[in-house]
Structure 1
């Protein structure tokens, strides 16, 4: 899941970005509305975390423009403006959630995750594929009832794969949704994480490679004859 944070306070922005990345999100940062507009024009995001008092305007102006253009990306307003009137204005302009500074980071990460799932890409709270169970809310994975220890990035990749069981997820989609601007698209980061996931998930394998396309997760132990797939 990829998130755009729009925050002009450099220290707070760094903390929010670092924390969300540790929670498994791919995160980009913009410190002005103009920069946010540019990133939104070139990247697809599952959620926005937006401050209100930005150097070139109110964060609500960004939300208003997005809604007028028909964009449905969820927006969480993260601001020190805590008056009831401010919150009401935020919701009236299309904000989906509103968190007041100072805040508990665990709550912020949970709210961002809930908004990403609500957007439609990841709807079920628990995904089950054969004997594999992925609890998206609690971020826990079990195979045959055994709790597995996954890194944040491994969980993010698995989360996207189980969102469309039986459907091939292109490598480019994994890069776009699970990595941020710090990733090198031509590197082998995807293959490395997939290899780690396969090792931790164990046998029989549930992640298959579709050569030249991407990856698919299902409970089929062996591919159909002639299918261009490999383990």
Structure 2
């Protein structure tokens, strides 16, 4: 059974939030609602969502602050701003803060649903260029790697090594597999090049975190697992 798409709606107006929540649930989206900015920001940071719908004007911190905070932590979840503020400058401010789309109130549910569909399709297209194992993420386009939102500085060979391990997460990866697919050697150079690079990679992805992800399987190879 396919998991439901999870949407966080941050909207303080009870009538508007119920209108949106009912409409989304009728389309079989899983919806959670926050009625103030501080609660919404905590939920957006601490939980996983496929989409955020964020009002601009909220009790507590405003929508701009919420989205800027989420983006500062490396979270690229699609964001749709809702607001009665419809001037060009207001829309530009929302997009510059990290919003992906901006819908002005009042609006038709059909338009909201259409915009959500577009954002989710875009998210799926982007996801094909990213690898994720637990809180470890690798972006094939930007060549950036993060764990728990913290940027990790990898050398090119370490990046290729991690990419291969992430594509085979949960599986034992042998030295021969690494030699052939990361170093493009079809013979054993009889050096410790793999051990050195694995050790350096382990330092970068595991050292400053509570739980290790990269394990050595004695006599077999290596395995990357979610922490």
Distance 1:123 1:117 in 2: 10
CA RMSD of aligned residues (A): 1.9
Given the alignment of the two structures, is residue 23 of structure 1 paired with residue 27 of structure 2, yes or no?
Answer: yes
Distance 1:84 1:24 in 2: 33
- Relative contact order (alpha carbons < 8 A, sep ≥ 6): 1 or 2 greater? 1
Shift of residue 63, structure 1, vs aligned partner = 0.6
Distance 1:85 1:122 in 2: 28
Q: What SS class does the counterpart of residue 124 from structure 2 fall into?
A: coil
The counterpart of 1:12, out of the listed 16, 21, 32, is 16
Query: Is the contact between residue 6 and residue 51 of structure 2 (CA under 8 Å) also seen in structure 1?
Result: yes
Query: Is the contact between residue 116 and residue 122 of structure 1 (CA under 8 Å) also seen in structure 2?
Result: no
Distance 1:32 1:121 in 2: 31
Q: Whose Rg is larger?
A: 2
Given the alignment of the two structures, is residue 61 of structure 1 paired with residue 35 of structure 2, yes or no?
Answer: no
Distance 2:105 2:80 in 1: 12
Distance 1:13 1:59, change over 3 A: same
Distance 1:83 1:27 in 2: 29
- The residue number in structure 1 matching 2:55 is 51
Query: Is the contact between residue 7 and residue 31 of structure 2 (CA under 8 Å) also seen in structure 1?
Result: yes
- The residue number in structure 1 matching 2:120 is 116
Given the alignment of the two structures, is residue 92 of structure 1 paired with residue 102 of structure 2, yes or no?
Answer: no
Query: Is the contact between residue 24 and residue 31 of structure 2 (CA under 8 Å) also seen in structure 1?
Result: yes
How many equivalent pairs are there? 124
Shift of residue 72, structure 1, vs aligned partner = 0.1
- The residue number in structure 2 matching 1:34 is 38
Point out where structure 1 has 5 or more consecutive residues left out of the alignment.
125-231
Shift of residue 121, structure 1, vs aligned partner = 7.3
Shift of residue 123, structure 1, vs aligned partner = 7.7
Distance 1:12 1:18 in 2: 10
After the TM superposition, which segments of 4 or more aligned residues of structure 1 sit over 4 Å from their partners? 121-124
Distance 2:103 2:39 in 1: 22
Distance 1:38 1:113, change over 3 A: same
Shift of residue 34, structure 1, vs aligned partner = 1.6
Distance 1:114 1:78 in 2: 16
Q: What SS class does the counterpart of residue 120 from structure 1 fall into?
A: helix
Q: What SS class does the counterpart of residue 50 from structure 1 fall into?
A: strand
Point out where structure 2 has 5 or more consecutive residues left out of the alignment.
129-227
Query: Is the contact between residue 117 and residue 123 of structure 1 (CA under 8 Å) also seen in structure 2?
Result: no
